[in-house]
């Protein structure tokens, strides 16, 4: 059977720089070992690191995570998925709707997938990884908090419960279904998405509605 790209090339591409751009903005990925050793996906925040001419993704997890035992045995071939944005688009906004009525709803989205090798970071490099990760996340939110602001013995105690991970991508794919097939309706779709009321996609909604958890 001949392999086919899905989504079609109109809505996706294999440009790694575009995929890294999504990853850098989203910073949160779903990790799935490709051999199916885990039934459930693992979710983790990750940062981009450039080292020795390579672009890597690094993060950390608690040692109770099932990936810990697997990575202690060796590296894993994994898929990482960064989901950037998505939303429903109503056919009511299309110019064709009042003409022929031959329009249907769709769902637009932006995401990036990476395929590569996941490894455990040596313990002696864990603190540097944590410091870099915190710096990246805090800076993105306009904060100047640093890991060193917390007591060193407290950080040492907590760091014993986590381990670092490093992902080296072999290939990447970006998905960007953004109504490219309806260029004349682009401005209408943009206006539609700007008025979308989707509180379910905000942390505040879930934190203030405990019955929904």
Question: What pLDDT was estimated at residue 24?
Answer: 96
Contact 19, 79 (CB under 8 A): no
C-alpha distance from residue 173 to each of 25, 93, 115, 133 (Å): 16, 30, 9, 24
Give the whole-angstrom CA distance, residue 22 versus residue 113: 10
Domains and CATH numbers, the chain: 9-186 (2.30.110.10)
Question: What pLDDT was estimated at residue 3?
Answer: 53
Q: Quote the tokens at residue 177.
A: 């279904």
What pTM was computed for the model? 0.92
Count of beta carbons in the 10 Å neighbourhood of residue 15:
12
Question: What pLDDT was estimated at residue 199?
Answer: 87
- Model pLDDT for residues 25-64, shown as the tens digit of each residue: 999 999 999 988 887 899 999 999 999 899 999 999 999 9
Strand partners of residue 49 = 56
Question: What pLDDT was estimated at residue 154?
Answer: 97
Buried b (16+ CB within 10 A) or exposed e, 141-155: eeeeeebeeeeeeeb
Torsions phi, psi of 136, nearest 5?
Answer: -65, -45
Half-sphere exposure of 195 toward its Cβ, with a 13 Å CA cutoff? 9
Q: What is the four-CA torsion angle of 136, 175, 68, 56, rounded to 10 degrees?
A: -50
213 residues of the chain, pLDDT tens digit each: 455 677 888 999 999 999 999 999 999 999 999 988 887 899 999 999 999 899 999 999 999 999 999 999 999 999 999 999 999 999 999 999 999 999 999 999 999 999 999 999 999 999 999 999 999 999 999 999 999 999 999 999 999 999 999 999 999 999 999 999 999 999 999 999 998 888 888 889 888 986 655
Question: What pLDDT was estimated at residue 114?
Answer: 98
Q: Quote the tokens at residue 82.
A: 């960064």
Residue from 30, 60, 47, 44 nearest 161 by CA? 60
Report the percent of the chain where pLDDT is more than 90: 84
Contact 83, 41 (CB under 8 A): no
């Amino acid at each position: 059977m001949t392999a086919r790209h899905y989504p079609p090339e109109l809505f996706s591409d294999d440009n790694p720089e575009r995929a890294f751009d999504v990853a850098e903005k989203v910073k949160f990925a779903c990790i799935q070992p490709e051999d199916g050793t885990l039934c459930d996906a693992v979710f983790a925040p990750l940062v981009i690191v450039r080292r020795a001419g390579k672009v890597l993704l690094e993060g950390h997890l608690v040692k109770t995570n099932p990936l810990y035992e697997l990575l202690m045995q060796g590296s894993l071939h994994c898929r990482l998925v960064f989901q950037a944005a998505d939303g429903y688009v109503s056919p009511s906004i299309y110019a064709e709707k009042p003409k022929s009525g031959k329009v249907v709803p769709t769902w637009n989205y932006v995401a990036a997938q990476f395929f590569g090798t996941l490894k455990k970071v040596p313990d002696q490099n864990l603190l540097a990884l944590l410091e870099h990760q915190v710096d990246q996340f805090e800076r993105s939110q306009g904060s100047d908090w640093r890991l060193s602001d917390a007591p060193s013995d407290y950080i040492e105690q907590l760091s014993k419960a986590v381990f670092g991970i490093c992902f080296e991508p072999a290939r990447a794919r970006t998905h960007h279904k953004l109504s490219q097939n309806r260029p004349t309706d682009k401005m209408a779709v943009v206006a539609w998405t700007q008025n979308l009321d989707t509180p379910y996609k905000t942390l505040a909604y879930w934190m203030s509605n405990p019955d929904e958890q």
